[in-house]
Structure 1
């Protein structure tokens, strides 16, 4: 199992994680990942950390499709991959209708078809076999009935096959990742349930396909407090990160076997009863998607992850070198 450091969003000047990234590289972490929503972008912090490191791989989890046309993402990825000596892992995802429609002002239509078309165009850009054209309905190239002509990327990529990961939660999206990508980035992974939930979707994955699961890690003797931290995050995602009738995060919790709880949590949260929403989250759900507690407990629960389809653990939470070392020893030792 490989080990990565998930930094999430860059929030403010004080959130320069260079020291953590350098520590992770020294300790043998395989990768470091950044994210974006409607604040910081994913690529700029990654370039910052890439300029200060030499070995650790650099991942986006995820760059949002609606933020950039596919050729723009392909250009950015090619440039960053070149500058860092071929270390980029490009995670992309469709996001959700609230962000796509509310922030980018674009329709959230046919995310599966859009994702497929997006990845195909990026790969055409990197291969440089011919001027790039696209006859799909979402990203036609060149623009029909215009003055444009097909163009070829000016710069030769360092790698024409930059690894692509898909951020996906539904079974059809996961199946698409297994078909067109090199990896899948699940936001919430319950190791004992992954095979049941996604075994069929992952059946067509090629050899070496990377299931890179994001997991909150809290090393603490106070298991109750650690679980409560996970539950605070879950309350936000289940309750507030989506519309009442279209919340992909609540849907995935439902597929884990907590459909009634998810509906109840969302209703409480949207009614402004956030404390009650927090209390309504089952402990076993928070525990199942995280690794919390003293080192012995985390080591024991790691066995569930080793038996699952997960091949990379992207740990969220640890930033200081002693904790990063302890996590490294638990996962890789």
Structure 2
């Protein structure tokens, strides 16, 4: 199991200490670093900026949102950065959720699986320097009109002027639901779960196998890249308190009732009652109570919290799981501790 550095997305501004974290991860032999985006900072710019300070680590997006860019625009950014870094880019993409897609990007959300399949197909063709062309309903290339917007009729399929550094630049798919996980196994080079519980992964294994069967077999280098929060503290509850706010946010606030994929992840683990309570409290504006309603056992399903000895005892669950790259965050000292624990 390889280690990756999670840089995530920014809050109000660039977080302090990132240069030091990146330098420490490179020195410690981390395999990769990963940026993200929601509805603030983008994923590509920080990846290029901080990636220019490295020479070895893979540079991944976890994830770029499909609705933020057309498939060809995403391919352009990934191919450009791949050249600048000597072929170190891993392109993680995701459909996001309806609140962000429709509320931030002003794009329609329905049919995310069909849109993803069409999007990845165009990405593959563009990166392979084939002419960009799609007859699909979501990303028609060339544009011939639709949704009340006329076409000039002058568009034609174009081939990238940029020759790719690699035609096999890896594409990873962020997915949580069973059908989307199966799609990742079928059409992508890797899968990026957000919350993954090794002790409750039977449904993920089944979904991946469905996708690999449709693909005709599992690629040898299929990468499962997952962020795992690691909090070292002699007080287990104090350590869990560092994780609870994020779980409450995603379960309670990152999606509407009946349309929250993160909620569903934990519900499938058997926490339906707890998820319902967390969501009700969070949507009612009682965020502190929602955070307090996250049980320790739920935290321990997806994170490593507590004294070093406890973390070392639980780490094999993650090492022996589907995860091939465990993505972590923290100060340089904390990254060294994790590297020592993982060995």
Q: Shorter-chain TM-score: which interval? A: over 0.9
Counterpart for residue 185 of structure 1 = 192
Distance across 2 between alignment mates of 1:85 and 1:53 = 11
Deviation for aligned residue 1:258: 0.7
Spell out, residue by residue over 1:3-26, the C-alpha distance to the aligned partner (whole angstroms, 9 max, x if none). Answer: 101111133244351211111011
Which residue in the other structure is 1:75 paired with? 76
Provide the residue aligned with 1:101 in structure 2.
102
- Structure 1: runs of 5 or more not aligned: none
In the aligned structure 2, how far is the partner of 1:329 from the partner of 1:281?
A: 29
- How far has the Cα of 1:271 moved from its partner? 1.4
Q: Which runs of 5+ in 2 are unaligned?
A: 145-150, 213-217
Matched, 1:326 2:337: yes
Aligned with 1:308 (options 316, 321, 328):
321
CA distance in 2, matches of 1:307, 1:120: 32
3-state DSSP of counterpart to 2:290: helix
* In the alignment, structure 1 residue 211 sits paired with structure 2 residue 224: yes
Deviation at 1:208, TM superposition (A): 2.0
Cα displacement (A) at 1:28: 0.3
Structure 1 residues 87-236: aligned runs within 5 Å = 87-129=88-130, 131-144=131-144, 146-194=153-201, 196-203=202-209, 204=212, 205-236=218-249
1:265 paired to 2:278 = yes
Aligned counterpart for 1:239 among listed residues 234, 242, 252: 252
| Structure 1 residues 3-82: aligned runs within 5 Å | 3-11=3-11, 12-15=13-16, 17-82=18-83
SS at match of 1:46: helix
Deviation at 1:272, TM superposition (A): 1.8
SS in 2 for 1:212: strand
Does the CA-based 8 Å contact 1:235-1:281 persist in structure 2? yes
Report the number of matched residues: 328
Moved more, 14-23 or 44-53: 14-23
TM-score (norm 2): 0.93
* Paired residues of 1:178 and 1:206 also in contact (CA < 8 A): no
C-alpha distance after superposition, 1:220-253 (max 9, x if no partner): 2222111012111111111111012211111111
Deviation readout 1:256-276 (Å, 9 max, x if unpaired): 111121112101111122222
Is 1:287 aligned to residue 300 of structure 2? yes
| Native 8 Å contact 2:237 2:296 kept in 1 | no
Q: Which moved more, 1:304-313 or 1:14-23?
A: 14-23
SS in 2 for 1:235: helix
Distance 2:25 2:232 in 1: 17
Q: For the residues of structure 2 that align with 1:22 and 1:158, how far apart are their CA atoms? A: 25
Distance in 1 between residues matched to 2:164 and 2:173, nearest whole Å = 21
Deviation at 1:212, TM superposition (A): 1.1
Alignment of 1:241-256 (within 5 A): 241-256=254-269
Q: How high is the TM-score relative to the length of structure 1?
A: 0.96
Tell me, yes or no, if the aligned pair for 2:75 and 2:126 is still in contact at 8 Å: yes
Tell me the secondary structure at the aligned position of residue 10 of structure 1.
Answer: coil
Deviation at 1:307, TM superposition (A): 2.2
Distance 1:14 1:190 in 2: 28
* Alpha-carbon distance between aligned partners in 1 of 2:24 and 2:35, rounded to the nearest angstrom: 16
